[in-house]
Structure 1
């Protein structure tokens, strides 16, 4: 009995020593490990998304067997939907609507791959610090707080797996440090197989699915009749898409901005005669919407960022006279 008690005391001592060492770890090293783990590891799990009264369960299977990334995401609640991706190519299956959408991955990445591999842009906009330990989905993790350097982005509380580095939980915090969004694994298993039979949607092959494919479009800066004056600090333009939308005669321009972690989309399109333009601010969960009218164009900015960010981006659009 004495030997058993001694063994328990020794185990407790080493556990406390390990926890203390993890708390003193470099937070940026932990976040960098999490970014790579989400892309390099093979895993399958179910995570829960929560925002206000809205919640849903999502199953993810991800594999990287040395030939690139493959993933399959299945919505377990509400309308059925599956998302298959290979690298930056995404195919969205909506069995209820009998629709297939093919597009490129843009803007914010999906959980658990929320963090970019290159952290330099994130470091310029956030401060990071380790804030204790936590256990989720049966796995021990290290808590890292990402605190914004200004009011143009939210804060984040991230839990990284202590063994493999994978992001286990991500909590979005507003300026009052209130939780406005949370994503966390409830089940998680690391995979050690290269079987790709799972990489296919559960759809009825006999149904006549409508395929909507995003066509590549070359956007030249010289063709713009508008410009952006001053973006919020830390944000950079990472993409510009010009696309035709069903029911509209003119193309819609979408510009995507990011600070490395948060992303914002700016939409610019000519006003449609007889259609009442959108004006004002709306917030749904962590997402802010801001719309105004400028020189005959409808301007809409959308992003999981504070109101000040979407407002400044919308008001920075000026048209050439």
Structure 2
């Protein structure tokens, strides 16, 4: 329609010069009214097109809305899925199921290769089965495993430490997927790239990226089925005999050391004092969390002399160790090595 309007204007411009000379400016009411009508038509169409564009933009979900939908879908949909965790050229396959049956919230996550490693959740009771440990149950509303608990929790809390960026669409597991990037605000932690299923909002792929944009580890889903009802496998958990719930002491041990620096957003979530089996050595620890990442700091007395710091990394997980002032300090977490060093250096003793 714009080209038609432009042709009309060119037609007026191309009128014979003699005719233009015979007409004084503004002397033809007919010509002036036609020009006003054309200009008003252009303005009206431009306004209408802008309104349509604004409406389309308003309908496009924001990155925050995509993340909120992920959290909702994990907690409310009935699904049966499989995924592979890839790090250090190793692949660990898992099966993950979730369902709601007559108001009961059920979840199962199983490692498919190697010794038994299985987690079961019935409402707010999570039971862990490991071939190397006695099975036990703890009070929790999510399974602690390869899928970060934060993805089904308070998404807005993550915005204190991460910027959410909606990048674009791609195809994962044969399904249209929306890519959302979680970028560290202070560059003291790694970033996450998440591919979410456009149809259901569930996770299809996740990648941990360092500050250079290099891949550290990833989760790739290989199967996803969404159903109206909870699977029979999950429903059987309601009648299964599960381990008794551990009684966790509410008494917080008093430590004679503290961590003086942490990246913004990390909060203390646990304080422990344990003795290592076999060597009867006491180890104290503090655990911090920013909503997505856990950082643990372990401190124990030692008679060894001071030695240079050592750093080991498996995928995105860093283990930094240093000996100083008669103490061994270890920092473990999915954080950059220089962040772990700054945390270890900030440990001070009373």
Please give the range of the TM-score, normalised by the shorter of the 2 chains: 0.7 to 0.9
For 1:237, the equivalent position in structure 2 comes to 268
In the alignment, which of 283, 290, 308 is matched to residue 338 of structure 2?
308
Q: Report the 3-state secondary structure (helix = DSSP H, G, I; strand = E; otherwise coil) of the residue aligned with 1:115.
A: helix
8 Å contact from structure 1 (residues 217, 241) kept in 2: no
Unaligned runs of at least 5 residues, structure 2? 1-52
Counting helix residues as a fraction of each chain, which structure ranks higher?
2
In structure 2, the CA distance between the partners of 1:22 and 1:50, relative to structure 1 (3 Å rule), is farther
1:182 Cα shift? Answer: 0.8
> Cα RMSD between the aligned structures?
3.4
Instruction: Give 4+ residue runs of structure 1 displaced > 6 Å after superposition.
Output: 20-23, 274-278
Q: Report the 3-state secondary structure (helix = DSSP H, G, I; strand = E; otherwise coil) of the residue aligned with 2:153.
A: coil
1:228 aligns with 2:259: yes
1:292 Cα shift? Answer: 1.8
1:274 Cα shift? Answer: 8.0
Q: Show CA shifts across 1:180-200 (max 9, x none).
A: 111021100113324554467
8 Å contact from structure 1 (residues 125, 148) kept in 2: yes
For 1:285, the equivalent position in structure 2 comes to 315
- The structure number with the bigger radius of gyration is 2
1:213 Cα shift? Answer: 8.0
- CA distance in 2: counterparts of 1:137 and 1:167, whole angstroms: 11
In structure 2, the CA distance between the partners of 1:200 and 1:30, relative to structure 1 (3 Å rule), is same
Unaligned runs of at least 5 residues, structure 1? 1-16, 206-210
8 Å contact from structure 1 (residues 46, 185) kept in 2: yes
For 2:43, the equivalent position in structure 1 comes to none
Q: Report the 3-state secondary structure (helix = DSSP H, G, I; strand = E; otherwise coil) of the residue aligned with 2:160.
A: helix
Normalising by structure 1, report the TM-score: 0.77
1:172 Cα shift? Answer: 0.8
8 Å contact from structure 2 (residues 307, 324) kept in 1: no
- CA distance in 2: counterparts of 1:258 and 1:58, whole angstroms: 25
Q: Show CA shifts across 1:277-315 (max 9, x none).
A: 995211121111111234433221111111122212222
For 2:114, the equivalent position in structure 1 comes to 78
8 Å contact from structure 2 (residues 255, 284) kept in 1: no
Q: Answer with 223-232 or 191-200: which moved more.
A: 191-200
> Which protein, 1 or 2, shows the higher relative CO under an 8 Å CA cutoff with sep ≥ 6?
1
Q: Answer with 81-90 or 184-193: which moved more.
A: 81-90
Q: How does 1:127-142 map to 2 (within 5 A)?
A: 127-142=163-178
1:93 Cα shift? Answer: 2.3
1:250 Cα shift? Answer: 4.8
- CA distance in 2: counterparts of 1:172 and 1:182, whole angstroms: 6
For 2:295, the equivalent position in structure 1 comes to 264
- CA distance in 2: counterparts of 1:103 and 1:278, whole angstroms: 39
Normalising by structure 2, report the TM-score: 0.72
